[in-house]
Amino acid sequence: MITATASAAAAAAAVLAVSARWNWWRPKVGGLASLMYHKVGDHPPGSKIEKLWVTAKDFRRQMEWLKSRGYATLTFTELKNAEDGKSPMPARPALVTFDDGYANNYELAFPILAEMGMKGNIFLVWDTVGRHNAWHDPAGEPWLRMLTWGQVGEMQRSGVIEFGSHTVTHRNLAEISLEDVAWEARESKKRLEEKLGRGVLGFAYPYGAGAFVPEVRRCAREAGYRYDFSIKQGITPIPWDPASGPMMRLLIRGDDTMVDFHLNMTRGRARL
Ligand SMILES: [Zn+2]
């Protein structure tokens, strides 16, 4: 009897533990799933933020999951056209986004997206294109090669990748003056548009900072971006009302399982 009670208690504890780790019990939500990636590949020795590295194998598996479930991966322009009624809104729209603009996005993610006929969007940091991730402390994340303008141009011409802004310098927008916030948002948009020869619709707040500080967000949005992206976990309702807050995203972690991926895509989050 004691054994039966104990094992029932153990089973209940196990269910609770699993339910805390994987949020299968959350209601399913529809809307726009914006997946947030950073680095694709095997994390280098010495990386203290290895969870932000997703292996090429996992990335391919995740893209296959999207494709097999009928998700349409869009560029910012395709999303805008659908919102503006110039094209139909897909039943399951998704944005595959990459923050910062690492060379590994070109080397590993771009060929997979191109091969599978899917689309992605990369947020560039103007000052670091062709250089390295200067905003990281090399003690926590080694210097990494960033995309070159040649790679950016090739990806844009392919139609597979569209580019957004992640500011000029990757400063924390919640810690600088509003004048500097306005400059980061406006100047990066202007320079990217001149360089790329097309409009830049998307903006991602470095570290997600300031996305929910009304005056910071106002400064960023006044630069004229159609879409601004936070790092708040969730699926964004569509049609999206900018007044409701910045776009939410789904952080895809290197230690996620496909169960996590499934829960992210259907519930807006996998973990508590
Ligand atoms: Zn960043």
Query: 52 C-alpha vs ligand 1 centroid, how far in Å?
Result: 11
At 271 the pLDDT is 82
| Span of 4-18, 101-115, 241-255 with lowest mean pLDDT | 4-18
Mean pLDDT, the chain, rounded, equals 94
How many whole angstroms from 207 Cα to the centroid of ligand 1?
6
Ligand 1 centre distance from Cα of residue 167 (Å): 9
Distance 161 CA to ligand 1 centre (A): 18
**Could you tell me if 8 and 240 are in contact, meaning their C-beta atoms sit under 8 angstroms apart?**
no
Confidence label for 137 from pLDDT (cuts 50, 70 and 90): confident
Alpha-carbon distance values, 27 to 65, 69, 79, 264 (Å)? 20, 18, 25, 12
Token pair belonging to 38: 């950073």
Query: How many Å apart are CA 181 and CA 197, to the nearest integer?
Result: 24
In terms of Cβ atoms closer than 10 Å to its own Cβ (0-12, 13-18, 19+), residue 197 is exposed
CA of 166 to the centre of ligand 1 (A): 7
CA of 125 to the centre of ligand 1 (A): 8
Span from the CA of 169 to the centroid of ligand 1 (angstroms): 10
Is 193's pLDDT higher than 90? yes
Residue 19 pLDDT > 90: no
pLDDT at 25: 67
**pTM (predicted TM-score):** 0.92
- From the list 186, 178, 187, 170, the residue with the least C-alpha distance to 213 is 178
Please give the distance, rounded to the nearest whole angstrom, from the Cα atom of residue 171 to the centre of ligand 1.
9
What is the arithmetic mean of pLDDT over 208-227? 98
Q: pLDDT of 58-76, one tens digit each?
A: 999 999 999 999 999 999 9
pLDDT value of residue 1: 54
Lowest pLDDT segment from 52-56, 112-116, 231-235, 266-270? 266-270
Please check the confidence at residue 222 and state whether its pLDDT lies above 70: yes
Q: Which domains does the chain have, with CATH numbers?
A: 30-267 (3.20.20.370)
pLDDT for 2 = 58
Mean pLDDT of 80-84: 96
